[in-house]
Structure 1
Amino acid sequence: MSAYSKMLVAIDLTEEAPQVLNKAKAVCESHGAELLLIHVVEPVGYAYGGDIPMDLTELQDQLDKAAHDQLAGYGDQYDIPKANQVVTVGRPESEIHRLAKEHEVDLIIVGSHGRKGFQLLLGSTANGVLHGTECDVLAVRIN
């Protein structure tokens, strides 16, 4: 029996997403595991510090719809069923932890951008996911 039966890959819907998805799909197939594809949309209020006195609901809805559409495209391309595609709103690290626990995931796969210091090894989201998770984490180095 494989060490991993259910994996979660979290992508940021940038042009680097296929690098992470290709690695996730290969690891998943080598273990005969189920793959959960997720994207976390950060609340618009976070981007503006919550200081703008206006209703950002419509903008948030547009971002959410665009994320669903993009994730569905990746799901089709990588043969990931709709039931295993999740778009959620919140802080990426917290939502990834929550979904991993909720879906009893064995391995979380995230992309990692180069940064300075310790974050040179892991991007800020990857670093946040690593600290606080109850399962293994694979950080895919993004070129």
Structure 2
Amino acid sequence: MPYTHILVAVDLTEECDPVIKRGRELAQANDAKLSLVHIVEPMAMAFGGDVPMDLSQLQQQQFDQAKEKLEAIKLKYPDVKAGDSHLTYGQPRQEIHQLAKEHHCDLIVVGSHGRHGLSLLLGSTANDVLHGAPCDVLAVRLIKPTN
């Protein structure tokens, strides 16, 4: 059965290009809709939730920077329509699963660094997204360039 709506989860680094390209290829081959998502994790989560200062201004700066980077990606990939990119706060696994359900996505594409060993096969976000996903998940192996 062909895919009808593909959701590509991006981290907004240059490493996300192969992930977007794979999502685009699959969308074109299946005549499917293509959407992008980036999740900005709350800074308190990164610090274990116990932070003795107000991080709201830093959090807003992080969100604004993510918005600019996502806009730049949309310029680079014009086949991603204006309403088909999503930027939100939260825990990546939960937000990606929720978005996939809400928008009836039948494939989520994520990047994976392919670390050694079975337990490190997927990066933490890719591994999280895989478990409990409401649809198929494709992990695109990311290879770091050698200098």
TM-score by length of 2: 0.91
- Partner of 2:125 in structure 1? 125
Q: Percent identity?
A: 50
Structure 1: 5+ residue stretches without partners: none
AA aligned to 1:133 is: A
- Partner of 1:46 in structure 2? 45
Task: State how far apart, in whole Å, the 2-side matches of 1:110 and 1:50 are.
Answer: 26
1:120, distance to aligned residue in structure 2 (A)? 3.5
Task: State how far apart, in whole Å, the 2-side matches of 1:52 and 1:43 are.
Answer: 12
Task: State how far apart, in whole Å, the 1-side matches of 2:75 and 2:33 are.
Answer: 15
Task: State how far apart, in whole Å, the 2-side matches of 1:43 and 1:116 are.
Answer: 29
AA aligned to 1:82 is: A
1:116, distance to aligned residue in structure 2 (A)? 4.0
**C-alpha contact (below 8 Å) 1:7/1:107 kept by paired residues:** yes
Q: Does 1:26 align with 2:31?
A: no
1:15, distance to aligned residue in structure 2 (A)? 2.0
**C-alpha contact (below 8 Å) 1:39/1:88 kept by paired residues:** yes
Structure 2: 5+ residue stretches without partners: none
Q: Does 1:10 align with 2:9?
A: yes
Question: Aligned-residue CA RMSD in angstroms?
Answer: 1.2
How far does the alpha carbon of each residue in 1:76-96 deviate from its partner, in whole angstroms, 9 at most, with x for none? 211112201100111111111
Task: State how far apart, in whole Å, the 1-side matches of 2:116 and 2:91 are.
Answer: 22
TM-score by length of 1: 0.93
Task: State how far apart, in whole Å, the 2-side matches of 1:121 and 1:43 are.
Answer: 26
AA aligned to 2:33 is: E
**C-alpha contact (below 8 Å) 1:28/1:35 kept by paired residues:** yes
